[in-house]
Amino acid sequence: MITKLFSKILENFFQKNLGLKTKIGEDYYLQQKHFNLGRVYLADNNFKLAKKHLNKAINERPDKSEPLLYLSIAYKNAGDDSTALRLLKNKILKNNQFALREKIQIFLRKKRIQTAKNIVLEGIKKFPENPFFFKALQEILVREKKFRYASQILFQSISKFGFQVFQFKNLELSYWMGADVKEIMASFLKNYQFRKYIRKKIFKVDPKFTFISSEILGGIGPMSLLDPYVKAMQLGIIPKMKLYLLAKEKIANHSYLKYWEKYIDTIHNPQAIESLIPIEQIFEEKLNYGIIIRKKAYYIEDAIGFINKKWEKERKPPLLKLKEADSQKGWDILNRVGIPKTENLVTLHVREAGFWNQKENSSDAYRNADINSYMRAVDEIVRQGGFVVRMGDKSMQPLKNKPGFFDYACSPLKSEWMDIFLCASSKFFLGSNSGLCLVPFTFGVPCVLTNWLPLGTRPRSSKDFFIPKLLYSHEKKRILTFEESMKSPLGQCFSSTRLKELNVVPIDNNEEDILDVVKEMLEGQNPVERNNMFVLRFNKIYKKHFKYVSSGRIGKRFCEKYSHLL
């Protein structure tokens, strides 16, 4: 949440820069104060306070168009499309191009494609120098599978504006907001078919190379999506192609990327990147959303489940293997803090809001958990002769080092390559639903993943254990059953904001539940446990809702304890 201190800093800024000695200065200060506070609260997803300050700004400012536009965005982002549209129809915003863009996004979200298309055509007529509306028209024509017309618009846009037309990617996301997986994949497939149409139009044949979208570079979790794609090629599930990646985005972990360069050519030269961007935009594979397998669009989680099960069935090794030099260097560093080279190293990572500078009410807050609830499990690992290294970064709550436990996250030893060494060298990884939890799997390291959500996803390996967060419904005044938590939209809900709209609150795993599932991992892989009646019942419900599930195993004791939710 935005603190009073931050508000005071903002207030002091206006006082210092605008002054309050004259009535004009005071009026301007008040107008700007509420408008800017409204925008800050809007960015913070605090829609209630955003509306409050933006309404004040509308009443106090002579020019009401900007606060009115931002107020409509606050209502739109809060899920109140009707009020947002009513505000956008105000005559003050009649010739505002940004208001038209907001209308387009709302109507696409409401699946009123023709209405959105009419507004796009209005935008092209009123604002012929704005490339957004041309890109929007092309996207809508793709949705309608009118590839020939869409390609004409694309080439006209490139001729008129250059390749800046590719900057507008939010339209596709706004179309997907609130959609179910089936609709998302239908859209994803149409975009793939359109790119294939364009490639054949330019090259006459479909070239045997492709670009992986550079969007994956921004987070270590998205970078791990190279794993199923490369595996799919090696299994013959998708055609083998030369893979390229333009390093034009901020790279979350350079060391991890270097491990993947065994399978993909990464281009770092700025001049080469600039010249290749137009080709990348036509060829890029957006792994964040899905993978095309035999002309069918598989949602990314379904694709991962399908590919990894086939990979495990053929008993293939993990794609990545720690380099001997990195291994030696890593163990030398751990030895300095009292951790000898051992097969009983456990890495611990519990997601907090600090790394991404997120607030308590951010859309990803459902993935966070309390590190203190893991300490009993840590003590059990140490009691059984293990060593626990806590991972993360210095924004996290510091923990006291003790025999068998080292808070690496808040230590000066923290580095990108050391992160990879630790993930790859562990007996197992203990953590929550974070990007980092996807890295150990690519090196063949099993995981115990707790506070897991949503239930439409599942850890990737048959060696993994997981336990989910429970969901409390204010509407039903009770904890939801596992089946209710799997049904749409909750089963694929990746947003705390959306959970709030559904009047549902996630309940974190307690320390006892975390300890129990860690004990299961420590006890070893017992095939008999898989036939536990409660585990079988959970898996039966799971397969009812999700066709291609990953192989991660639900904790047996967790299923027994919460059997009333089955």
DSSP, collapsed to helix, strand or coil, labels residue 407 as strand
Looking at residue 12, its pLDDT comes to 53
| Per-residue pLDDT, 528 | 55
Q: What is the pLDDT of residue 24?
A: 42
Q: Which two tokens stand for residue 525?
A: 């892989």
**Predicted confidence band of residue 3 (pLDDT cuts 50, 70, 90):** very low
Predicted TM-score (pTM) above 0.75: yes
The residue ranking higher by pLDDT, 346 or 182, is: 346
Would you give the DSSP letter of residue 555? P
Cα-based distances in Å from 326 to 319, 409, 444, 528: 17, 19, 17, 38
- If pLDDT is split at 50, 70 and 90, which confidence band does 141 have? confident
Position 31 scores a pLDDT of 54
pLDDT band at 496 (very low <50, low <70, confident <90, very high): confident
User: Residue 245: helix, strand or coil by DSSP?
Assistant: strand
* Residue 324 confidence (pLDDT) above 60: yes
Note the helical H segments in 209-338. Answer: 220-223, 226-234, 254-260, 270-283, 300-313, 324-336
- Is 303's pLDDT higher than 80? yes
For residue 292, give Cα distances in angstroms to 163, 221, 547: 26, 20, 16
Q: Which residue has the higher pLDDT, 2 or 295?
A: 295
Across residues 437-466, what is the average pLDDT? 95
- Token code pair at residue 292: 């095309």
- 179 pLDDT higher than 80: no
